[in-house]
Amino acid sequence: MLRRLLIAVLAVLAWAQPVAARPLLLISIDGLRPGDVIEADKRGLKVPTLRRFLAEGSYASGVRGVLPSVTYPSHTTLLTGASPARHGIIANQTFDPRQINAAGWFWYAQDIKVPTLWDAARQAGLSVGNVHWPVSVGARAIDWNLPQYWRTGHADDAKLLALLATPGLLRDLEQARGEPYAQGIIEDIDGDENRGRFAAALIRRHKPGFITVYFTALDHTQHEDGPDTASARAVLERIDSAVAQVIAAQQQAHPDTAIALVSDHGFAPVGTEVNLFRAFIDQGLITLGPDGKVQSWQAMPWPSGGSAAVVLADPADSAARARTAAVLAALQADPASGIASIADQAAIKTLGGNPQAAFMVDFRIGTSAGTFANLAKGPYAATANKGTHGWFPDAPEMRASFFIMGPGIPRGRNLGEIDQRAIAPTLARIMGGKLGGAEVPGLKF
């Protein structure tokens, strides 16, 4: 009895001791489906670096994501453990009913309403680096920051990024590398390989205890050509080599490092887009001026790929809410619309989605939301892209990825399907930090 009591007391005391800060590398491959690694041999993919995680670490069979299942909300959940409704990044692009923001995105870290892993790392005593992670402009906890940002692709974008990055960092790394850093608007594999080299150089030069690194070319290629295509497979194989360079630099700088590999969402083929803007204009919910721009509006779509939020100009206008609901119901009754379901505010709240939305429309896999820029294509049209994401998170095709390896991480363990919100508190614990805004507990290894 005394022995059991002593063991229990020692366990409590051990739990109460502060956990030593431990280095961590967090890599994201946008649009990476778990099967592309777990079933790599079956799919004919040569990704030896990614396959290392299966033998040397633990992995999820799938990650259930957030609403909407698009890049910026998902990456912020990966950093915070919170849903979009709580962390504040509720779409890729900001709400812009008058179309005046030049397709601006949620680039700025000040819009994140809860603590991030960058904050947790700093509190644990680790220095922090970042290469191209979404929503990283102005993140105060990052010591060496190359944030993701672009405007037009003009040469001036490079000057602007140099100002937004940590002072002097971009110049120093470009001189060390002997090449310019890829502009943010560049999303192809050449841009990813460039950023991989810069990430490795940043690690070798500054040895951050925690660093986030983001690769975007797989997502870009799957949008253009679709998933399960030769081009997508070729891009992933090249990303695998870029990831290998970053991991090698990290393990040389920090032999005791943990390495986590994640993605934000899955991917599915798409062929049809449904333009809610066209329907709202036709039904008088949006009025255009002689110049073709929005003159006034009662309800406005906010597209996110396979889903769309609908925002009311006046949330207290019950008549406008009823009219909007009727327009959406009529569209859903038309099989050509591809609408699978319509969530009201109560359902959106349960899903942790956009709190500004009166409704959220989920299309069937294969159909996506059209944009204001595509009004001329009509209510139903063929998509320019062959793949997308953004559908509600219960769609199996939207499952994302999680892999982790390093000292102390169980080898060869399948964690089953996990909640995307559980990843950030898990990583915070590994670094010896805490993450107060997380909505679910971390994973247990």
What is the reported pLDDT for 15?
A: 33
Residues 6 or more apart in contact with residue 243 via CB below 8 angstroms = 27, 29, 49, 50, 196, 215, 261
- Predicted TM-score (pTM) of the model is 0.94
CATH architecture assignment, domain 21-267+396-430: 3-Layer(aba) Sandwich (3.40)
Q: d(Cα 57, Cα 411) in Å, to the nearest integer?
A: 4
CA angle 298–302–307, rounded 5-degree value: 125
Q: DSSP letters along 57-68, please?
A: EEE-SEEE--SS
Q: d(Cα 215, Cα 103) in Å, to the nearest integer?
A: 21
Q: d(Cα 347, Cα 393) in Å, to the nearest integer?
A: 13
What is the reported pLDDT for 13?
A: 32
Collapsing DSSP to helix, strand or coil, 214 comes out as strand
pLDDT values of the chain reduced to their tens digit, one per residue, 445 residues? 444 444 333 333 333 334 578 999 999 999 999 999 999 999 999 999 999 999 999 999 999 999 999 999 999 999 999 999 999 999 999 999 999 999 999 999 999 999 999 999 999 999 999 999 999 999 999 999 999 999 999 999 999 999 999 999 999 999 999 999 999 999 999 999 999 999 999 999 999 999 999 999 999 999 999 999 999 999 999 999 999 999 999 999 999 999 999 999 999 999 999 999 999 999 999 999 999 999 999 999 999 999 999 999 999 999 999 999 999 999 999 999 999 999 999 999 999 999 999 999 999 999 999 999 999 999 999 999 999 999 999 999 999 999 999 999 999 999 999 999 999 999 999 999 999 999 999 999 8
Q: d(Cα 359, Cα 308) in Å, to the nearest integer?
A: 8
Q: d(Cα 311, Cα 345) in Å, to the nearest integer?
A: 11
What is the reported pLDDT for 115?
A: 98
Q: d(Cα 384, Cα 397) in Å, to the nearest integer?
A: 20
CB 364 within 8 A of CB 269: no
Mark out the alpha helices in 88-127 (DSSP H runs): 117-123
Q: Which helix (H) or strand (E) holds 288?
A: strand 286-288
List phi, psi (to 5°) of 260: -110, 135
Beta pairing, strands 307-312 & 299-304: antiparallel
What is the reported pLDDT for 10?
A: 35
What is the reported pLDDT for 98?
A: 94
Residues 6 or more apart in contact with residue 212 via CB below 8 angstroms = 26, 27, 28, 79, 117, 118, 129, 130, 131, 133, 136
Break the chain into its structural domains and give their ranges.
Answer: 21-267+396-430, 272-384
What is the reported pLDDT for 9?
A: 33
Environment class of 258 (CB within 10 Å of its CB; exposed 0-12, middle 13-18, buried 19+) = buried
List phi, psi (to 5°) of 65: -90, -155
32 closest CA partner among 45, 18, 16, 15: 45
